[in-house]
Amino acid sequence: MDSLPPLLIRDARLPDGRSGIDLLAEGGRFTAIGPALPAPAGVEVLDAQGWLLIPPFVDAHFHLDAALSHGLPRVNASGTLLEGIALWGELKPLLTEEALVDRALQYCDWAVARGLLAIRSHVDVCDGRLLAVRALLEVKRRVAPWLDLQLVAFPQDGLLRAPGALANLKRALDLGVDVVGGIPHFERTAEQGGESVRLLCELAAERGLRVDMHCDESDDPLSRHIETLAFHTRRLGLHGRVTGSHLTSMHSMNNYYVSKLLPLIAEAGVHAVANPLINITLQGRHDSYPKRRGMTRVPELLAAGVNVGFGHDCALDPWYALGSADMLEVAAMGLHVAQMTSLAGQRQCFDAVTANNARILGLEGYGLEVGCRADAVLLQARTPEEALRLRAQRLAVVRRGGVVSRMAPATAHLSLPGRPARVDFTRQMRAGAAGADR
């Protein structure tokens, strides 16, 4: 796509509040940003009409191998994590590489249409055929021009619990999978969980790879593998390259222990990923009332200086019967579950599906600055907070300076006496009334 003609985006509003901004993309990167830029010869123009332009959405945690398999071979009756894992085990022998590729490509189409242009997906390595690994490596190659797909070697059935899992995980890395995964809380004992964390961190250090573990996805407050993950991250000098995903047991831990734990995570530079849609759905299933929400302590992690991202995790699969690649839906759910309703909290939730996730993936050239990759999303909203409230339409999606998706504005046509003919749910402010009704 680097051979595309230059693209001039006219009259955009940016997340920092600047309006009337033009952005020029040439050779796949932004080369000028400012008001009233001159248009080079032969330039293509995208008129933003004052709508909000943001860098693309990024998903730091997904399972593309299971996506869109809902109902195969049956649905999850109890709705629990453990039945989901058992159900996935029933489906695995029935999978074909062709069907995996088809479903993954369909989801990637949805992602691009939603302005989601980078996904970190775990891929199950416990099947000795490595069928899903081969399928997703093929998908990664095919979608590369329009979507960055980063793959995590994920031992779904346990690194030490499932026969051959460690060898399979190494084979997956040899084939080109990018990141080392794990699932310490699913090993047979807490000791084996800790041992798996040590082995996997050492493997990542040896190979110069990043780590992203499903860590403490449990309502058991004694599931404390995040402590061990932070310890080995620091011991091996892996700062900034390790992610603890889910961390739901932290919801149920006592406050005294958490007050010790948070500084350890921050000191090690371990990123945290919450998966709001899935955590609110799967956790607390063994509770009567009150039912725990189960999501990790997002505001407290942020306050301790930890980089926190949100993931979609699942869509139409054995664990989750909904989902449509909408990272605004993910952020809105996180906002509600964590009660981050202040303006600052809403902005943090928006960051959790954009810039924070870009840091977790280590994306090069992410952002709306001169020199960054010319990737952007035009939303039918004027602020990030409005985008969250409306799950705003993605009016246009730009990848490497080319428009790859367009969506019609959400507009209703009213037939009401004395009222406007059209509504689009954005907030229309009367002149001089800004802030008057806050």
CB of 85 to Fe ion, least distance (A): 11
The residue at minimum Cβ distance from Fe ion is 313
User: What's the CA gap between 348 and 356, in Å, rounded?
Assistant: 9
User: What's the CA gap between 336 and 322, in Å, rounded?
Assistant: 18
Residue number with CB closer to Fe ion (26 or 313): 313
DSSP 311-342: --B-SSSSS-S---S-HHHHHHHHHHHTT--S
User: What's the CA gap between 30 and 405, in Å, rounded?
Assistant: 19
CB of 90 to Fe ion, least distance (A): 18
User: What's the CA gap between 13 and 165, in Å, rounded?
Assistant: 49
Q: Is 260 exposed, middle or buried (0-12, 13-18, 19+ CB in 10 A)?
A: exposed
Residue number with CB closer to Fe ion (216 or 313): 313
29-36 long-range Cβ contacts below 8 angstroms, 24+ apart: 29/365, 29/371, 29/372, 29/373, 29/374, 29/401, 30/368, 30/369, 30/370, 30/371, 30/372, 30/373, 30/374, 31/370, 32/370, 33/368, 33/369, 33/370
CB of 246 to Fe ion, least distance (A): 7
CB of 113 to Fe ion, least distance (A): 23
User: What's the CA gap between 336 and 35, in Å, rounded?
Assistant: 36
Residue number with CB closer to Fe ion (59 or 313): 313
CB of 314 to Fe ion, least distance (A): 7
Residue written as token pair 């030490």: 160
Residue number with CB closer to Fe ion (147 or 215): 215
Catalytic residue IDs: 217
Residue number with CB closer to Fe ion (313 or 375): 313
Residue number with CB closer to Fe ion (33 or 60): 60
Beta bridge partners of 21: 12
Please give the structure tokens belonging to residue 14.
């940016």
CB 274 within 8 A of CB 306: no
Beta bridge partners of 22: 34
CA torsion sign for 251, 347, 23, 7 is: positive
Binding site for Fe ion (CB under 5 A): 313
